[in-house]
Amino acid sequence: MNPHRIVYLERDSIRAVLPTPTFPHVWEEYPFTAPDQVFERIAAASIVITNKVQLRADLLARLPNIEFIACAATGTDNVDLDWCREHGIPVSNIRGYAVNTVPEHALALMLALRRQLLAYRADVQAGRWQQAPMFCCFDHPVRDLHGSTLGLIGRGSLGQAMAGLAAALGMRVLWGERKGAPQVREDYVSFETLLAKSDAISLHCPLTADTRGMFGEAELRAMKRDAILINTARGGLVDEAALVRALTEGWIAGAGFDVLSQEPPVGGNPLLAPELLALPNFILTPHMAWASDPAMQGLAEQLIENIEAFARGEARNRVA
C-alpha cells in the first residue's frame, strides 16, 4: 500500500507543535494557499488539511485521489459536505478545543462595552480626568453584568461554557430557539422573546443556510435599545450594513465582534469604516478569540488524532 500523501494548505493558521502521524505518509505543508493554488497543491493528495480554504464540489470532482478531509477548525462551511457525503469522502472537524478561549473573549467584549472601557480610556487620553474638579470622572453610564439577562444562540460546548461564565457573574441566561422554529423546546425561549428580553446577546452557532443573516435590520430593531450584541462565531450571521446603522442610529447600545463576513477583509467591509471603529460602543478584533496558546495546541493534537483515526479505519469527529 502506498503511503498517504498529506497536504496541509494553511500551516500558518495555527501556532502549535504538530505531532507526527505514526502511519506511513508523505507530509507537505504550505504557510497559506491562494484559491488559484489549491488544485495544483492537492491534486495528488489522499488527505487534505484545511482551515478556511474553500473545497467546493466543482473542485472536489476533479480530485479523485482524495480519501479524507481534515478540517483544522470547528466550522466546516468552507467544505461542500453534501458532495462529500454523496461521494463517500469522510470529513472531520475539531471539537471542544476553544471551550475556554472563545467564551472568555466574548465575556471580555461584554465587560468592556458594559463598563465603557473604551470611552473612559479615550477620556483619560484627552485629559478629561486631569481637568476634572473632583477625584473621579463618570461621564458615561456604567452597567453591571450582575442581575442582567444574557441571551445565547447556540447550545454547544461554547454556548454552555458562556452560560457558565454568565452564571458565575450572577446573570440570568436565556437559551434562544432557532429563528422561525414552529415550536419552542423545553428550557428555551422563542427567538422573538430572546430579542425582547436580553440585555446582551452572544452568538455561538455555526454558519449554515438557516443561520446566515440571522440578525438583520428587523432583529436589531427588536432588541432593547440598551442591549449589546456579541459575535465570536461567524460574520455571516449578522447583516453588517444593518449593524452599522444600529450602532450609529442607536437601535442598540453596542456590539463586540471578532468575525467578519469575508476574512481577511481585503475588499473592505462596512464594519471597518474609520468612523465606526472610532466609536466607543463598538469593538472589532481580528478573528483571534479562538487563538490562545493552549487552545491552538489542543487543536493541533486533535487534528492529528482525527487523521490517525481515519488511517485506522475509525470514524472520529465526523461531519460527513
Per-residue CA distances from 80 to 58, 60, 213, 283, 291 (Å): 10, 9, 20, 32, 25
* Cis-peptide, bond into residue 264, ω within 30° of zero: yes
Distance, CA of 232 to CA of 75 (rounded, Å):
12
Cβ-contact 289, 106 below 8 angstroms: yes
The candidate with the shortest Cα–Cα distance to 203, out of 170, 171, 179, 183, is 179
Domain range summary for the chain, segments of one domain joined by +: 4-97+294-311, 101-284
d(CA 149, CA 198): 5
Closest CA to 243 of 220, 223, 259, 260: 220
Q: Residue 49 burial (CB < 10 Å; 0-12/13-18/19+)?
A: buried
**Residue 1 has what pLDDT?**
67
Phi, psi (deg, nearest 5) at residue 219: -70, -40
Q: The pTM is what?
A: 0.88
Q: How many CA atoms lie within 13 Å of 115's alpha carbon, on the beta-carbon side? A: 10
**For residue 42, which of 12, 67, 22 has the smallest C-alpha distance?**
67
Distance between CA 313 and CA 309 in Å, rounded? 6
Query: What is the tens place of the pLDDT at every residue in 109-151?
Result: 999 999 999 999 999 999 999 999 989 988 899 999 999 999 9
How many angstroms separate the CA atoms of 269 and 266, rounded? 8
CA pair distance 98, 106, nearest whole angstrom: 12
- Rounded-to-integer distance, Cα 219 and Cα 239, Å: 10
Do domains 4-97+294-311 and 101-284 share one topology? The answer is yes
**Cα–Cα distance, 6 to 42 (Å, whole number):** 9
DSSP 8-state class, residue 88: T
Contact at 8 Å (CB) between 273 and 68? no
- The amino acid sitting at 36 is D
CATH code linked to domain 101-284: 3.40.50.720
Report, as residue numbers or ranges, the catalytic residues.
Answer: 234, 263, 287
Local confidence pLDDT in tens for the 320 residues of the chain? 689 999 999 999 999 999 999 999 999 999 999 999 999 999 999 999 999 999 999 999 999 999 999 999 988 989 999 999 999 999 999 999 999 999 999 999 999 999 999 999 999 999 999 999 989 988 899 999 999 999 999 999 999 999 999 999 999 999 999 999 999 999 999 999 999 999 999 999 988 889 999 999 999 999 999 999 999 999 999 999 999 999 999 999 999 999 999 998 988 899 999 999 999 999 999 999 999 999 999 999 999 999 999 999 999 999 99
- CB-based contact 45:65 (threshold 8 Å): yes
- Domain 4-97+294-311 adopts which CATH fold? Rossmann fold (3.40.50)
